[in-house]
Structure 1
Amino acid sequence: MVKKLIVSLGALSLLFPAMAFADDPSAGTLNMGLNSIWVLVAAILVILMQGGFILLEAGSTRMKNAGHIAGKTVFTLGLCTLVYWAVGYAIAFGSDNAEHSISKIIGWGSYLFAPAVAAADGEALPSTIFFVFQLAFAAVSLSIAWGGFAERAKLSAYLVFTILFTAVVYPVISHWIWSPTGWLFAEGAQDYAGSTVVHLTGALAAFAATVLLKPRIGRFNKDGSANEILGHNQVFGALSVLLLWVGWFGFNAGSALGVGDGFFGYVAFNTQLGAAGGAVAALLISWLVNGKADITTTLNGGLAGLVAITATCAFVDPWAAVVIGLIAGVLVFFSAKFFEKIKVDDPIYALSVHGAAGIWGTLANGIFATDELAKKLNVGQGGIIDTGNWHQMWVQLESVLVCGGYVLVVSFIILGAMKLVMGLRVTEEQEIIGLDLSEHGAFGYPEQMKKAQSSL
């Protein structure tokens, strides 16, 4: 078989000499090509995480809202794409004002982004691929925000908030930390793949929504005690975590933006360790405290470990990645209990998984980052353990406070104005019958719902 293949290739090279003697591409072109393949694959993995969010939100909520959740996720991904193309990418990475002080706050230029057909000489990536990769991150942050809307928001609220979040909330934070001209980037803020930029931003937008929408009907009693509203499919929840876990390799390792010396493999290695630590710690702490190993907590622990390691995966040693994941798994358990105690209705635990763990992951660089890796990436410096210096911790804390403050204030303003002008929440009757029927006129599980209706 091998001999036949060699003979066939030899014959083809004689018939088509251009195949055998084509101009050799330069090393730079080959490197750009390899970078492009990897980053585009990574972008596809991140976009496929939307499937994980569909399963996560649908599985964590009731059957009567499942079709709505699936449909609005696809719709908002499409709308987010158009807004990011028209406005968001320009604010995040536009470079027309690179010489001006305003560039520290927002980017400018590249509105209605019209990229070159191919990469120019010396570019590490075609701008088209960089755009798709960054768009995927914006869409993930938006999907995290939907946790605060779940089971009670109007479809029109999703439409308007998608436009405004993608235009004026997410890209500003992205510019501050990830753009070469952003002011937090200049200060050395370390957030490799977005514990703050993506996860905390989405979680705080979700928090604003939960406060203004108020809890779902029946979630809390008048005496303040909580009623558990169980999701309809725990298997969906487990599948969603696995799908998101796999997508996270595109999320974190893809942020290397190339293959280079294989450093993206080290990032992937730390990502797996952090996720593993989160899942194991969450199961053990729930087992210890509750006397039973809670499956939902275990799933949330895996996600919390992934969120926490997102900022740190390129800056820390492997042992630190495990510790970061373990702490995230414990943190998500107690954080969920805290939000329930203060009567915040968070159906998919966005505030704990993406908010609390996002803060922890960002601050963890101030403790565990090594000076060697910080110098390799040319971002900030080592943390307290490696250098004995608190400087990086203060930078990390500053980025959490400033970015968190901006997202909270702007999200409350946007959602507050929307509540006054158009309303955010469906009626009590619509919420009771479910958003599948009230917002779309069809059931996500038509056979099951028909059986339920016929038995009444």
Structure 2
Amino acid sequence: MDLLTLSQGLDTIWIVLTAAMILLMEGGFALLEAGFVRQKNAVSIIMKVFVDITFGALIYFAFGFALMHGKDAGGFVGLSGFFMNGDLSHIKLNVSLDTYWLFQSAFVIAVISIVSGAVAERINFRAYILFTIAMTGLIYPIAGHWIWAVGGWLGKLGMLDFAGSAVIHGLGGFAALAAAIFIGPRIGKFSADGQANIVPPSNLPLASVGAFILWFGWFGFNSGSTMSATNGSIGHIAVTTMLSAAAGGAACILFTMFRYKKADPPMVINGSLAGLVGITAGCAYVSDDVAILIGIICGIAMLLATEWLESRQIDDPVGAFAVHGISGSIGTIALGLFAKEELTSQVGQGYYGLFYGGGWQLLGIQTLGLVVVCVWGFSLTWISLKIINKFVRVRVSQDEELVGLDVGIHGVPAYSQEHDFLDLERLKQERPH
């Protein structure tokens, strides 16, 4: 076996393994969101995650991958590779295209799962399927082309986004904000005077397990983006990922203890996730101490953003916008300030952070890219939902929402008690013959 064959084999194993880790994050999303919503809507969360994986993978295979990574047309969209056929010779990798598609499909599934939480407990299942098709087949792939594809206009400008703080979390977070505003708050979330009412999570231990699974999968998310098992930066990427997540959670523990006199579990969970989101863009480009700083800022900003949403009467049951939209934005901008020359030079990037003597160029590019991607995600989501609503009502009926989507839409509760079956047997025995 020659060295090239060995290298290809190692890279293939690495990318498939990390893709599987990212796909496991869907289990994390399912548990996290099911734990944060009320018990009567837990099944609907699971079903939406299955839509993310099934429809998301199929649509990305048919159309999304081509629009994102196909042969460039003017820097704005790809136009080859539909159904993974056609000219994709411009993609130069040490692994097969199938391997690359698998890894990229895991990313697109994560994007739509961000939006899922913002519309929890009140979106029509059929409308959600249609929006999943729009997100995975059009909205995300085109934005992804701008930054990550060969010839993408933001990538050519020099924008840095190693694993997707902007193109995944910024876009997904602002799409979640648009969806939450479009669909409106849950019944009873806000009182007549505009005050937010507390909707207690149904199962915080379940939500915390979901967060830990997401944390685990994030090592695949970030480290796998090296696309190589022999890349020397894998260890550094894993360390910055860990430190930022820990700092985000620790900041929320201390901040809520100071502000509310008690550590707030949902906020601590989301604080760690905010740290993970924030470091995703710069995990390969910033130092360990900067990773801690990013995590702290993202954790506190997430808390403040959550309060701001409620003051505006915007209902986001799992904090999708605060975690992904805000932290993704912070992480993207942070690169313009803290990216180190010796790290960015490894990817052929001519710019580095303002605080390291790199000038304003990278900061300007990062800001431009972030604004464009977030506006694209917000506006296209709003337009998509507007169109979908003309054919399928986006929001469930009042009766379905009150009884819960599990029974109202899917016809089955999340939890069945043993006495339910005993009562059925008793009724059968008591029924007159």
Q: TM class by shorter-chain length?
A: over 0.9
Which residues in structure 2 correspond to 1:262-277 (within 5 Å)? Answer: 262-277=232-247
Q: In structure 1, the residue corresponding to 2:63 is in which secondary structure?
A: helix
Question: Distance in 1 between the 2:142 and 2:233 partners?
Answer: 28
Answer whether contact 2:178 2:381 (CA < 8 A) is retained.
yes
1:123 Cα deviation from its structure 2 partner? 4.2
Matched, 1:135 2:111: no
Give per-residue Cα distances to partners, 1:220-241, cap 9 Å, x unaligned: 0110001011110000111011
Question: Distance in 2 between the 1:76 and 1:355 partners?
Answer: 19
Out of 143, 166, 180, the position equivalent to 1:196 is 166
1:262 Cα deviation from its structure 2 partner? 2.4
Which residues in structure 2 correspond to 1:185-334 (within 5 Å)? Answer: 185-334=155-304
Q: Percent identity?
A: 36
Match of 1:349 in 2: 319
The one-letter amino acid paired with 2:393 is G
**Structure 1, unaligned stretches of length 5 or more?**
1-24
Match of 1:14 in 2: none
Out of 98, 106, 120, the position equivalent to 1:150 is 120
Answer whether contact 2:77 2:152 (CA < 8 A) is retained.
yes
Match of 1:75 in 2: 51
1:83 Cα deviation from its structure 2 partner? 0.3
Out of 4, 8, 11, the position equivalent to 1:32 is 8
Match of 1:15 in 2: none
1:447 Cα deviation from its structure 2 partner? 1.6
Answer whether contact 1:371 1:387 (CA < 8 A) is retained.
no
1:388 Cα deviation from its structure 2 partner? 4.8
Match of 2:430 in 1: none
Give per-residue Cα distances to partners, 1:91-143, cap 9 Å, x unaligned: 00012xx4xxx240001111011499xx9xx8411111110000000000000
* Count of residue pairs brought into register by the alignment: 421
TM-score (norm 1): 0.89
TM-score (norm 2): 0.94
Question: Distance in 1 between the 2:86 and 2:36 partners?
Answer: 40
Matched, 1:401 2:371: yes
Answer whether contact 1:282 1:332 (CA < 8 A) is retained.
no
Question: Distance in 1 between the 2:45 and 2:376 partners?
Answer: 28
Give per-residue Cα distances to partners, 1:314-338, cap 9 Å, x unaligned: 1101111111111111111111111
Give per-residue Cα distances to partners, 1:264-317, cap 9 Å, x unaligned: 121111111111111101111111111111111111110000000000101101
Match of 1:44 in 2: 20
241 and 433 in structure 1: CA distance in 2 versus 1, 3 angstrom threshold = same
Q: In structure 2, the residue corresponding to 1:297 is in which secondary structure?
A: helix
Out of 335, 349, 354, the position equivalent to 1:384 is 354
Question: Distance in 1 between the 2:147 and 2:420 partners?
Answer: 50
Match of 1:54 in 2: 30
Match of 1:87 in 2: 63
Is the deviation greater in 328-337 or in 303-312?
328-337
Match of 1:108 in 2: 79
Question: Distance in 2 between the 1:412 and 1:450 partners?
Answer: 43
The one-letter amino acid paired with 1:426 is V
Question: Distance in 2 between the 1:449 and 1:311 partners?
Answer: 51
Match of 1:18 in 2: none
- Give the structure with higher Rg (CA): 1
1:423 Cα deviation from its structure 2 partner? 1.3
1:200 Cα deviation from its structure 2 partner? 1.4
Q: In structure 2, the residue corresponding to 1:232 is in which secondary structure?
A: coil
Answer whether contact 2:171 2:376 (CA < 8 A) is retained.
no
1:43 Cα deviation from its structure 2 partner? 0.2
Answer whether contact 1:115 1:127 (CA < 8 A) is retained.
no
Answer whether contact 1:365 1:396 (CA < 8 A) is retained.
yes
Match of 1:426 in 2: 396
Answer whether contact 2:351 2:358 (CA < 8 A) is retained.
no
Match of 2:427 in 1: none
The one-letter amino acid paired with 1:80 is G
Give per-residue Cα distances to partners, 1:22-69, cap 9 Å, x unaligned: xxx221111111111111100000000000000011000000111121
The one-letter amino acid paired with 1:113 is M
Out of 358, 382, 392, the position equivalent to 2:328 is 358
Question: Distance in 2 between the 1:84 and 1:232 partners?
Answer: 33
1:450 Cα deviation from its structure 2 partner? 5.1
1:379 Cα deviation from its structure 2 partner? 3.0
